[in-house]
């Protein structure tokens, strides 16, 4: 007499099922990360830095005759002796290098090709074809606000380009 023995199934999942669940979970996690990155990519950029309105500071913080680098906006804020303001992009008009202000020489000097600009951004030497570009300034409630999203090209300095405090 033959005894028919049927193997009994073990409780739980086998190796093949475990690997299937692990792969499915990994792919779901990867998909969620890709989706999160895509959502973050298509969201609009905050306008609190370069390319938007930048708060440079209070009017009283800038002494007449001073040139101040505003790093968040990538521009120099020059307060003229008469108290008005001029915001100049720190980008050279020759090939776009960052132009530093040299306080001891009272000029902007481009390190790339030697262009030299005065306090108002006028070219005084070198290959730059025109003065430094300007950004519009608004003074509201004692704050100096600069719109770095709208650079203004100019042929020369004119006092009408300044903003009265």
What pLDDT score does 23 carry?
96
Please tell me which residue, 48 or 39, carries the higher pLDDT value.
Answer: 39
Which pLDDT score, from 0 to 100, does residue 92 have? 93
Query: Does 47 score more than 60 pLDDT?
Result: no
Backbone φ and ψ of 76, nearest 5°? -105, 135
Q: What is the pLDDT of residue 41?
A: 83
Report how far residue 151's alpha carbon sits from residue 80's, in angstroms, rounded to the nearest whole number. 20
CA atoms within 13 A on the CB side of 61: 11
- pLDDT for 52 equals 87
The reported pLDDT for the residue numbered 80 is 95
Mean pLDDT over residues 14-34, rounded? 93
pLDDT range class, residue 133, cuts 50, 70, 90: very high
pLDDT at 144 over 90: yes
Helices (H), 43-163: none
Tokens in use for 163?
């903003």
- pLDDT for 150: 85
Pick from 83, 91, 65, 71: nearest CA to 146:
71
Backbone phi and psi for residue 101, each to the nearest 5 degrees, phi listed first: -90, 125
Q: Is the pLDDT of residue 2 over 60?
A: yes
Note the maximum CA span of the chain. Answer: 117
Q: Going by C-beta distance under 8 Å and a sequence separation of 6 or more, which residues neighbour residue 82?
A: 64
């Amino acid at each position: 007499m033959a005894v028919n023995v049927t193997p009994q199934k073990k409780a739980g999942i086998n190796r093949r099922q475990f690997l299937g669940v692990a792969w499915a979970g990994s792919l779901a996690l990867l998909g969620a990360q890709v989706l999160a990155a895509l959502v973050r990519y298509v969201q609009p950029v905050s306008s609190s830095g370069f390319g938007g309105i930048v708060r440079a500071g209070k009017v009283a913080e800038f002494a007449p005759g001073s040139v101040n680098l505003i790093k968040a906006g990538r521009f120099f804020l020059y307060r003229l002796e008469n108290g008005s303001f001029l915001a100049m992009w720190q980008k050279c008009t020759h090939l776009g290098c960052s132009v530093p202000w040299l306080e001891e020489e009272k000029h902007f000097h481009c390190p790339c090709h030697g262009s030299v600009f005065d306090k108002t951004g006028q070219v005084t030497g070198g290959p730059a074809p025109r003065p430094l570009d300007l950004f519009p300034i608004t003074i509201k409630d004692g704050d100096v606000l600069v719109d770095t999203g709208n650079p203004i090209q100019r042929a020369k300095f004119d006092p009408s380009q300044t903003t009265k405090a």
